[in-house]
Amino acid sequence: MNFFRLLQVLVRVARLFFLIALAFLPLGGMPLPAYAQAESGITSPAPGSIVSGDVPIIGTATIEPFQKYELYFKQDPSGDDAFIYFAGNTSPVVGGQLGSWQAASLPAGTYTLRLRVVKADGNYAEYFVPNLTVNQGPAPTPTSSLPTETPTPTPTFTPAPQPTPVLGQVTQPQVEGDEPPPTQIAAVEQPAQPSELQGLLPTPTPTSLAVSDISADEQDGGGLTRELGEALSFQRLRTQFWNGVRVSAALFLGFAAIIVGKRLFVWVWRRYS
Mark 40-76 as b/e (b = at least 16 C-beta within 10 Å). bebeebeeeeebeeebebebbbebeebebbbbbbbbe
For the chain, how far is it from start to end, CA to CA, in angstroms? Answer: 9
Q: How far apart are CA 235 and CA 241, in angstroms?
A: 10
Beta bridge partners of 95: none
The predicted model scores a pTM of 0.39
Instruction: Identify any residues that bridge with 58 across adjacent strands, giving them in sequence order.
Output: 44, 97
Other CB atoms within 10 Å distance of the CB of residue 181: 11
Provide the phi-psi class of 12: left if phi over 0, else alpha when psi is between -120 and 50, else beta.
alpha
Residue 128's CB is within 10 A of a number of other CB atoms, namely 13
Digitized pLDDT (tens) for each residue of the chain, 273 residues in all: 566 677 777 878 887 777 787 666 655 545 444 344 578 999 999 999 999 999 999 999 999 999 999 999 999 888 889 999 999 999 999 999 999 999 988 999 999 999 999 999 999 999 999 999 998 755 445 555 566 667 677 767 677 776 665 555 555 555 555 555 555 554 445 555 555 445 445 555 444 444 455 555 555 666 677 777 777 777 888 888 988 898 999 998 988 999 998 888 888 888 887
